[in-house]
Amino acid sequence: MQQGFATTDDGLEIFYRCIGEGDPAIVCCNGIGVSTHFWEYVVRGHSPNRRVVVWDYRGHGRSAGPDEHHDFDVRRHALDLGFVCDALGLEAPVLAGHSMGSQVILERYRHAPDRVGGLVSVLGTYGHPLDTFSDLPFSRQLFDLIIAVSQGLPRTFDTFGKLLVSTPIAHRAARKLKLVDPDRCNEEDLSQYLRHLVDVGFPFFFKMAEVLGEHSRLDILTQVQVPTVVIAGEFDAFTPPHLAEKLHAALPDSELVWLQGASHAGIIEQPGLINEAIDDLLARL
């Protein structure tokens, strides 16, 4: 294992960890507000045979946080991903993205298609995810309201949010509302996510959600010339499965994999099937 920091063109230090040996490497891109822990099952499954890279977005985990002089939109995360790949000397890795990470890897492909060997979209979409949350007709308006409150009362909002997710109520509510699969989601995996969300802070989380909601890479899907796997969760409320079907239909060389009964946290609920899907992609390269 090696770990270190890649320096970006705007001067931030981006943390990465590389486990294993062998190419093509798999580079894992997180969801919004998430650190590297959701990829641990992929690391365990693939690092015996190849390099697996996990890294933190700016403002997440051990990476430096942006200030008013730094961008933190999807385009910027894709550029940071490029600096991580350069720091490790990766020529054409397989890029795997969970949730927001799906948009990040598509944006990276737009920047440098010759530096991408394959794509794995895990429970993500190509763009505008705030418009389709749980397929609610008022989804975007709901997020706009939450974002406005988080910006207008940042300290109050942050204190209330941290208090809410730090109690056992958060675990019970996630299971009751089926935001996670109650039978498959390990409580410690969920706790790691909630603890990291507290570290990130809710005002920053929703600032990122705002810029994420404006991003789309629908325009390049038909131009993607590398093998792709699209993984969809049957009960994914954050990125409803019909978005995965649309993503799969638009990509010239893709396979669609269904996680039956999975939520948006399917990456930790059914990691075995996700590892099998990645193996199938690697066999196509």
Using pLDDT thresholds of 50, 70 and 90, give the confidence band for residue 177.
low
Q: Dump pLDDT digits (tens) for 247-269.
A: 999 999 999 999 999 999 999 99
- What six digits make up the tokens of 32? 């919004």
Contact (CB, 8 A) for 99 and 264? yes
Angstrom CA distances, 189 to 53, 66, 89, 201, 271, stand at 19, 27, 31, 19, 12
**For 36, which DSSP code?**
G
Architecture of domain 2-130+215-284: 3-Layer(aba) Sandwich (3.40)
* C-alpha 58, offset from chain centre: 13
List the end-to-end C-alpha distance of the chain, in Å, as a whole number.
25
Q: Which amino acid is at 103?
A: Q
- 7-53 residue pLDDT tens: 999 999 999 999 999 999 999 999 999 999 999 999 999 999 999 99
Non-local (6+) Cβ contacts of 5 within 8 A are 13, 14, 15, 16, 63, 87
Q: Which residue shows structure tokens 């056992």?
A: 168
**15 Rama sector, left if φ>0, alpha if ψ -120 to 50, beta otherwise:** beta
Tens of pLDDT, residue by residue over 117-154, are 999 999 999 999 999 999 999 999 999 999 999 999 99
- Cβ contact 51:45 at 8 Å: no
Q: Is the Cβ–Cβ distance between 74 and 107 less than 8 Å? A: yes
Query: For residue 191, what pLDDT is reported?
Result: 84
Structure-block tokens of residue 34: 């998430």
- Which of 72, 215, 206 has its CA nearest to residue 146? 206
pTM higher than 0.85 = yes
Sequence ranges of the domains in the chain: 2-130+215-284
In Å, how far are 15, 122, 154, 279 from 275, measured between CA atoms? 24, 11, 39, 6
Tens of pLDDT, residues 68-106: 788 999 999 999 999 999 999 999 999 999 999 999 999
Length of the chain: 285
Q: Which comes out higher in pLDDT, residue 195 or 229?
A: 229
